[in-house]
């Protein structure tokens, strides 16, 4: 049996996943004297003053894969809670797994890119980097996708 609360949970998970795509997933702030440079990373690309330094579209293939995983996971979630009765639990579980996989792909790809472009800077970094002061951290979009993944698993585990 699949009740209204579970449907709502699934729709909420999909909505949160889609919203996560328009919010930053990782932020890098570099400052020296009175100058500040911001780089903001989304699953669909990079914006900011140093966005070219992080790489070309071909080098950032993992970001586009992250975006695809989030979109497919969200669509599976919606299909599972709104359309299909048979195989619903499988679709909801697959959605949760794709959400988790998107987080793994993003953090692995970002870590690899940082090790090549900014040796010594990690996903979470606060402190000096040569003459610069850097703060780098995972941002709201990343954490929302994690919440969407958890909600997908909760919706699938409550289905009997």
In order of their start, the domains of the chain are 4-157 (1.20.140)
Whole-number average pLDDT of the chain:
88
What is the pLDDT, as a whole number, of residue 2? 56
- Where residue 54 falls among pLDDT bands split at 50, 70, 90? low
pTM of the model: 0.89
Q: Is the predicted pLDDT of residue 137 greater than 90, yes or no?
A: yes
Question: What does the alpha-carbon distance between residue 19 and residue 67 come to, in Å, rounded to a whole number?
Answer: 12
């Amino acid at each position: 049996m699949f009740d209204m609360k579970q449907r709502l949970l699934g729709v909420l998970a999909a909505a949160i996943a889609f919203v996560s795509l328009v919010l930053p997933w990782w932020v890098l702030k570099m400052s020296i004297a009175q100058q500040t440079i911001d780089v903001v990373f989304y699953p669909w690309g990079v914006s900011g003053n140093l966005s070219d330094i992080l790489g070309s579209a071909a080098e950032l293939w993992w970001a586009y894969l992250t975006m695809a995983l989030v979109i497919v996971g969200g669509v599976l979630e919606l299909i599972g809670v709104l359309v299909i009765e048979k195989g619903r639990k499988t679709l909801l579980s697959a959605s949760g797994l794709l959400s988790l996989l998107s987080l793994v792909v993003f953090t692995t790809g970002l870590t690899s890119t940082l090790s090549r472009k900014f040796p010594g800077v990690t996903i979470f970094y606060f402190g000096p980097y040569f003459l610069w002061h850097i703060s780098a951290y995972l941002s709201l979009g990343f954490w929302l996708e994690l919440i969407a993944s958890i909600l997908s698993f909760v919706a699938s585990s409550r289905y009997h």
